Structure 1
Amino acid sequence: MDLEEAFQVVGEFGTYQKRAVAILTLLQIYMACQSMLIVLIGAAPSHTTERLENTGAGTEVQGSSQISFTEDSSSIVAEWYLIKHQAYKVHLAGSLFFAGVLIGNVFFGPLSDRIGRRPVFLGALFFEVLFGYVSALAPSYEVFALSRLLVGLMNGGMALVCFVLTQEYVGKSYWAMTGTLTNMTFAVGIALFAALGYFIRPWRNLAMAANSPGVLFFLLCVTLPESPRWLYSRGKTQQAEQVLQELAQRNGNGRPILKLRRPPGLDRPDGSSSSTGLAPLVLHPVLRRRTLVLMYVWYTCSLVYYGLTMNASEDTGNRYLSVAMYGLVELPAYPLCIYFINKKWAGRRKTMASFLACAGVSCLLTMIIPAKSESWFNATSLALVGKLMVSAAFNIVYVYTSELYPTVIRNAGLGVCSMSCRVGGILAPFVPSMRVVHESMPFTVFCLSGISAGCLGLLLPETLNKPVAETLDELGSPAYQRIVESKVRLLEDEEEEEEEKKEKGPKHKLNG
């Protein structure tokens, strides 16, 4: 039997799989806290600059002037006086985190395809928690900045494999749901981090509190098994059968006898393939075209998503409420995603492109509406709509990308796409500061990026109701395409039969 048939026997989303996915999904709260940390601990308190006369506590001499903080706020800005010509260091710390995530995606993605999901995931999570404590205890800005780079490095490897595991532990029919739950929990994590920051004001205590849940999650994740899909894609069918049998037993389905057929395209006796790594993404014509388009789409999603979120710290008013709102506004996006991407007339491709274009249009309208309008229809509300739309697109692109790449190279593909995504994350902290050039500059960037990415996304193939390729040989195989077409026709026939039954049902009742 093939892997999907085995999941039908084991259970596509049984009790144990629900527990495993719940652990990995709740881990997104920890990742959200690490990603958004700089938004609150890097907030600049109110201050005044005066001609130097007397130097007292709470001041820092800079040339012939002194800086006095008029707001009682604890942050890295107040501790290390990161204002004026030193203000760029706050944005630099945020960008270093995403630079680390970029490197982590490039390094850990192919590594997890080669040596396994579990060891890479656990190793990266352990060191992310360790370096997170270094951030909280950093004696100087330089140590803090270096620790943020290292936290991002581990976060890039861990987050990528975490998402893939939520997909590979369950049957394909549940991929959209688990992917959506993962991204939705990240949004909840942003709101919870804002609440945590409201109650814990000292920045070191906040960094410590935000990092501590990682210890609990590491202990819970140690019990998780290796991905059966990865074992199968590498030709380790016996080990894959053992993991699947354990899943079945813990799901309450006994210990069934499974016999997986060896996947095609594995050219070495040990089950390894010469077509792993990054080379197929460049050499394979189908993968090359998909990867180029997906890289730009991921870059745009990250740039607009994090740019709008970090723009919350630039807004006037309660910064904690602003950060929470930019997190909570995402939640309506996820039910919309689940509804549209599973509809035959919408699917993954059209829905993703539409949400990206709508995000761009929302950012365009913010440049027309006055920023200080007293009406509910103002620039801030439009920016929140833009965040909702790009969040929906970001959620879809995660699920969509995992379906476009074969299992044997899925993490490498996601790693390269995430690399371009992190380029957007690196640039995102600097985009809100472009308003010093012109008030509309940040939203001009978001608008053009969203609309262009939506148009390019239409070049990708649809994956709704189509089986996932396990190896590269299946990707361009005529036989595999015939299997795909037959399964699509079968699903369409089943849908037509269900619709006919629904239509005939009321008539029979009336006749009776």
Structure 2
Amino acid sequence: MAHSEISGLSDDDHGSLDEEYIYGRWGRYQVFQVAIVCFHLLQTGFQLLMGVFIAYRPPGSRCAVVEFDNLTQMNSSLYVTYESCNIKVFYNDTTAQKLIKETGCLNGFWYTLDKDSTIVTEMDLVCDRAYLAEVLQSLVFVGQMVGAAFASSLSDRFGRKTVHLCSTLLTFIFGISVAFTQNYISLAILKFILGVLQQGMVVTGSVLSLELFPEKTRFYSEGLQALFWTSGLVIMAPIAFLMQNYSWRYLQITLTSFSALSLIQFWVQDESLRWLAVNGKYREAYRVVRKVARWNKLNYEDLKNIVDRRMARAEKDKCMMEDKKHSEKSKETIIVEKLTIVNIIKNKSIFIISVMMWFTWVTNSLTYFGLTLTSTSLAGNRFLNFFLSVCVEYIGRILEFIMLRCLGRRTITLIFHTITGTALALSTALNHFSEGSQPAIMTSVVTSFIGKLSITGSFSLLFLFTAELYPTNLRNAGLGISSSFSRVGAIVSPFVGLLAREIPWAPGTIFSSMCFIVVILSVYLPETRGWDLPQTMAEVKVWYKEKSGFRLQKGRRRTEILKVLDIK
């Protein structure tokens, strides 16, 4: 990708600096800094979804052999059966078989894998303890929820680099500690902490990457983040395959070792120049400016002038805010509409739209993580299935990008969820009625991948669609609440595997049903493509009335809505 394309400068302007871009011009410095951030984003999926392999529950496990076998040798009329969670002793009568003793697995369990292959086999998380393996994965998602609540505010206060560095360094320390854990409680605590730190890496990494790009090409940042997230999961599959004959602890150490860069991160990664300028960190900012000028072969004084102007502007804004706080209210004071979460609940139309979006977020999160976590239980090689399951995410993101250029957000939501619901319903039916037919089973796996492809595209779209549905002063809160609801789906998703073992057709039926419900709800959602974003609650109320529901008629632009409000 050409430097001029990313920086937004034409070839004729290549010798000048962009006064609105704090780094002056795109160059080697930004490429190197983005590479560091992307490398860390590559591993964010490791600690989140590593449980797919290290907590894998092998099929065919049963109770280990006990001393009952001695009885069967002494008495040919007795025989013992070893089931998954029970041992049964039968007496062979001439007329019938009689159960004379039934007990639990007295001598532990026998597995098709080595004892230390996974957490499940090593700690015997089966039978009445089976749910504990799923709890470990849920704790990671709970940690994510906690981390998301604090990471952004901490990075705004202490700096992006500080929080990012601490998160990656602590991930390395606690990730390695997991490999040496000898009991379940310690493991559970460490998993929760790693979930918190994972969000620290994701949130600050995303912001660091975003603030390195010029405004005109900032959308490249989001694309890179999605690319490296998926690529990390793709890389994880072959690594797990190569280490399948070793203890799960070695896989934990290997994947955590990707965080070892944090040991030298302090010296190779710089703080966001935008954050330094806004917060008046002159000394640190000039050090970064000197480094940028050297790497990108720019004039130090020219670049310093741009940063000085940015700092002066930030200082002026702070002074104006302070003056407003201490000045008396005048009659000509502009009234700013202050909105909170309460406004979402109080306003009927906004609340209904919000509930629809909350359900959509839960559906997408539950379906996406449910399909990812259970991909290793599909027919065929579990490593290949996981690899293919994450590879199709590339296709989903490409389709989303193409459709965003020509279709509306609501239309894309309808398409993606229709495909997901249909694919998963077909996959469930084929698997349930296959009766051992290999073509039917393989077709079931393929349709499951199609469902994963489309739900990935839908999930990525939600971040854009949701933000566009709320007025300016409520947009961040609206997106934050919706994202919080998605965590609910993520926390529940690990238990999908347990449900599938009891009722094989249930997960696919639930996923497809929820997707079809979203399709119906989406018909009522406003279309946001090609329309000005609403700024006030009054605009939103009129906007929803004009563009929501089965009427599906073309809405009015914000200028037209304002005319309606003036008339009223």
Shared fold per TM-score greater than 0.5: yes
* Cα deviation code 1:324-374 (max 9, x no counterpart): 111112122222233232x1x325554355324432332232233345453
8 Å contact from structure 1 (residues 404, 463) kept in 2 = no
Q: Secondary structure at the match of 1:332?
A: helix
Residues 383 and 339 of structure 1: CA distance in aligned 2, closer, same or farther (over 3 Å): same
1:236 is displaced (CA, Å) by: 5.4
Counterpart of 1:382 in structure 2: which amino acid?
T
Aligned to 1:500: none
Aligned to 2:66: 52
Residues 363 and 96 of structure 1: CA distance in aligned 2, closer, same or farther (over 3 Å): same
Match of 2:496 among 431, 438, 441: 431
1:302 is displaced (CA, Å) by: 2.0
- The reply to whether residue 72 of structure 1 matches residue 114 of structure 2 is yes
1:54 is displaced (CA, Å) by: 6.9
Stretches of structure 2 lacking an aligned partner (at least 5 in a row) = 1-7, 9-17, 70-83, 88-102, 326-337, 541-556, 560-568
Map residues 112-511 of structure 1 onto 2, 5 A cutoff.
Answer: 112-200=155-243, 201-217=246-262, 219-220=264-265, 223-227=268-272, 249=293, 250-254=295-299, 255-256=302-303, 257-258=305-306, 259-260=309-310, 261=313, 268-269=321-322, 281-282=340-341, 295-341=358-404, 343=405, 345-346=406-407, 348=409, 350-370=411-431, 372=434, 373-375=437-439, 378-398=443-463, 416-453=481-518, 459=525, 462=528
Distance 1:270 1:205 in 2: 59
8 Å contact from structure 1 (residues 11, 251) kept in 2 = no
Distance 2:279 2:177 in 1: 41
Q: Secondary structure at the match of 1:329?
A: helix
Distance 1:63 1:76 in 2: 21
Stretches of structure 1 lacking an aligned partner (at least 5 in a row) = 273-278, 477-483, 487-512
* Cα deviation code 1:290-340 (max 9, x no counterpart): 876655444332211110011113224321112111111212222223323
Aligned to 2:334: none
1:284 is displaced (CA, Å) by: 6.4
Residues 295 and 219 of structure 1: CA distance in aligned 2, closer, same or farther (over 3 Å): farther
Counterpart of 2:498 in structure 1: which amino acid?
S
Residues 333 and 140 of structure 1: CA distance in aligned 2, closer, same or farther (over 3 Å): same
Distance 1:270 1:31 in 2: 43
Counterpart of 1:24 in structure 2: which amino acid?
V
Counterpart of 2:373 in structure 1: which amino acid?
M
TM-score, normalised relative to structure 1: 0.75
* Cα deviation code 1:65-112 (max 9, x no counterpart): 432224336111221111111111111111111111111112223333
Q: Which is greater in Rg? A: 2
8 Å contact from structure 2 (residues 468, 528) kept in 1 = no
Residues 47 and 283 of structure 1: CA distance in aligned 2, closer, same or farther (over 3 Å): closer
Residues 299 and 11 of structure 1: CA distance in aligned 2, closer, same or farther (over 3 Å): farther
1:184 is displaced (CA, Å) by: 2.3
User: What root-mean-square deviation, in Å, do the aligned CA atoms of Structure 1 and Structure 2 show?
Assistant: 4.4
Residues 108 and 407 of structure 1: CA distance in aligned 2, closer, same or farther (over 3 Å): farther
8 Å contact from structure 2 (residues 270, 288) kept in 1 = no
Counterpart of 2:421 in structure 1: which amino acid?
G
Percent of aligned pairs sharing the same letter: 25
Distance 1:298 1:368 in 2: 25
1:135 is displaced (CA, Å) by: 1.0
Aligned to 2:148: 105
* Cα deviation code 1:106-156 (max 9, x no counterpart): 222333344443322222222222211121110112211111111111112
Out of 299-308 and 96-105, give the one that drifted further.
299-308
Distance 1:451 1:231 in 2: 47
8 Å contact from structure 1 (residues 298, 418) kept in 2 = yes
Counterpart of 2:455 in structure 1: which amino acid?
V
1:195 is displaced (CA, Å) by: 1.0
8 Å contact from structure 1 (residues 105, 415) kept in 2 = no
Residues 214 and 409 of structure 1: CA distance in aligned 2, closer, same or farther (over 3 Å): farther
TM-score, normalised relative to structure 2: 0.68
8 Å contact from structure 2 (residues 36, 269) kept in 1 = no
Distance 1:179 1:76 in 2: 35
**Count of aligned residue pairs for this structure pair:** 461
Q: Secondary structure at the match of 2:110?
A: strand
Distance 2:519 2:217 in 1: 25
Aligned to 1:43: 56
Aligned to 1:508: none
Residues 419 and 121 of structure 1: CA distance in aligned 2, closer, same or farther (over 3 Å): farther
8 Å contact from structure 1 (residues 116, 230) kept in 2 = yes
Residues 243 and 300 of structure 1: CA distance in aligned 2, closer, same or farther (over 3 Å): farther
Distance 1:303 1:379 in 2: 20
Q: Secondary structure at the match of 2:50?
A: helix
Residues 268 and 115 of structure 1: CA distance in aligned 2, closer, same or farther (over 3 Å): farther
Residues 239 and 171 of structure 1: CA distance in aligned 2, closer, same or farther (over 3 Å): farther
* Cα deviation code 1:235-290 (max 9, x no counterpart): 75979986995696344454343334459798643999xxxxxx95525669x868
Counterpart of 2:429 in structure 1: which amino acid?
I
8 Å contact from structure 2 (residues 363, 489) kept in 1 = yes
